[in-house]
Amino acid sequence: MPIQQIENKKNENFLESTATTTTEIIDHTNVFSVITDADVTADNAPKSCEIQNSVKDDEVMLYENVGTQIKRMKQLQKSCTLACYKDGEWNTPVPVVLQLLEKKTKESKRIVCHQIGTGRLQLNSTMLPTMTMKKLKTKSIIFVGQLISDEATLAPHRVIFQDQTQRDIFLKHF
């Protein structure tokens, strides 16, 4: 490995002193030779539909606000947002992929929300036939669902859709 000498000049009052130090230069070019172009392509990235597949064997998907045919990320981010009322205030709405799943026996439905970008599960709440969904303003709904941190606790959740037609399509399943 090559060694390079570096001169450091120090100004002390009016006199200059020169100190010589030696440093090692490390060659890192061979580290990147193990990474191929196939490792870097976007084809190897996990697809959002693979991350967010929450359908179990005994369930049918009734609604999903994002289809796999959407190719531009702008449209994906504008889908809908989810906020939860916890500790006396609404948290910041998070953009999510909203899925409505129904058991094949039709006894209950499940609402699942995954955060866009990270795929993190934000909501996984069972909706019994006795539970209701209410319209809130023109593009929102509000309902009581289970918290991710504590499934035994119920809290109000608000979903804000991109437009009123998306909200109405979702609500026709209730």
Distant-in-sequence, close-in-space partners of 136: CB < 8 Å, separation ≥ 6: 142, 158
Percent with pLDDT over 90 in the chain: 31
Fold designation for 46-171: PH-domain like (2.30.29)
What pLDDT, on the 0 to 100 scale, is given for residue 45? 43
Domain-wise residue ranges, the chain? 3-40, 46-171
Residue type at position 12: E
Taking the model in full, what pTM does it have? 0.63
Q: What is the mean pLDDT of the segment spanning 4-13?
A: 56
Q: What is the pLDDT of residues 85-129, one digit of tens each?
A: 988 999 999 999 999 998 888 788 899 999 988 889 999 999 888
Backbone angles phi, psi at 151, to 5 degrees: -65, -20
